[in-house]
Structure 1
């Protein structure tokens, strides 16, 4: 009798580690073939992130940033120096936010340190994690330089604070723009496909298809 074949490991694995008092979804993403990975939005609570490295055995090769808000990148500069790895993202229009991380850290009670990314990202760029390639999608509105990371082969995206289960990102911060955010979601994210599962910056995962059906801000029905 032939043993059933073991299904191949997915090319990309993900672990979500909520950090900071704002419970921001820091995401550890790694290539299962090489066990090389990246943290996306290392906002704080570095002890938790070190534990995730030890538990998974992943070698961190870079830190990725969706946007410049304190809960998403306050600790990124310090962590990059500790690990000796580069920082990629966000888009340079968020330089304004990164420049005020020290000030915002005091305001929100989060350790924030200004940093300069090794590489600013642009719409249409790609970033690599091990042997996996993620597409960069510039989605302004919540902040002007917000980017989304999309792994087409896995039908998976990390969207930061652009879109949530049942909600969308705030646009009442400086340089926010509500219509621009709606356009980013409907013109940049929806075309990626209803079957795409996404990790938002806060709260539970969802799919683009579910949000197109049920999200009271951007459902097809509400925008019709």
Structure 2
């Protein structure tokens, strides 16, 4: 799924199994019932019907359309996986989706803060040991750090993970791993450079 704005005239939506245009209210009730029962057609219909609403809420809160697309996908995946907790008699599907959206937005904001903290802590850790690192904040603040670390060669990933998640200085990392200090600095620098390169490629491709 990819986030998109609602473009169809839902007042003329044809209810599956019929050849007539169903009123919006009747269609929404059909979506509610089918979603609860695990009908995948209703998942697609719900996405068409309310995907634009979710995306708009996420965009307003996050200020980033691409991040809002990710949140929109997460909302509908979470809703589908958790459909056993949806009960139409307690509330309609759009209200339930809105509640999930608020939680996913909060998660995204928390992750954004975490990335910023990682950039600051990692940069400070490397610079405190004399490592020449050029503006890691500008890169790390815009990526999902754990995913980018996973793409690095094992030694670079281990060094950078120890620097932040282990809260170790480069000297301590050298002691922990048995690597010379110069090698630790080199792996840290190359790891950050590779992350910069990956981000630049992704940005160009987007």
Q: Normalising by structure 1, report the TM-score.
A: 0.21
Q: Higher strand proportion, which one?
A: 1
Q: Normalising by structure 2, report the TM-score.
A: 0.22
Q: Higher helix proportion, which one?
A: 2
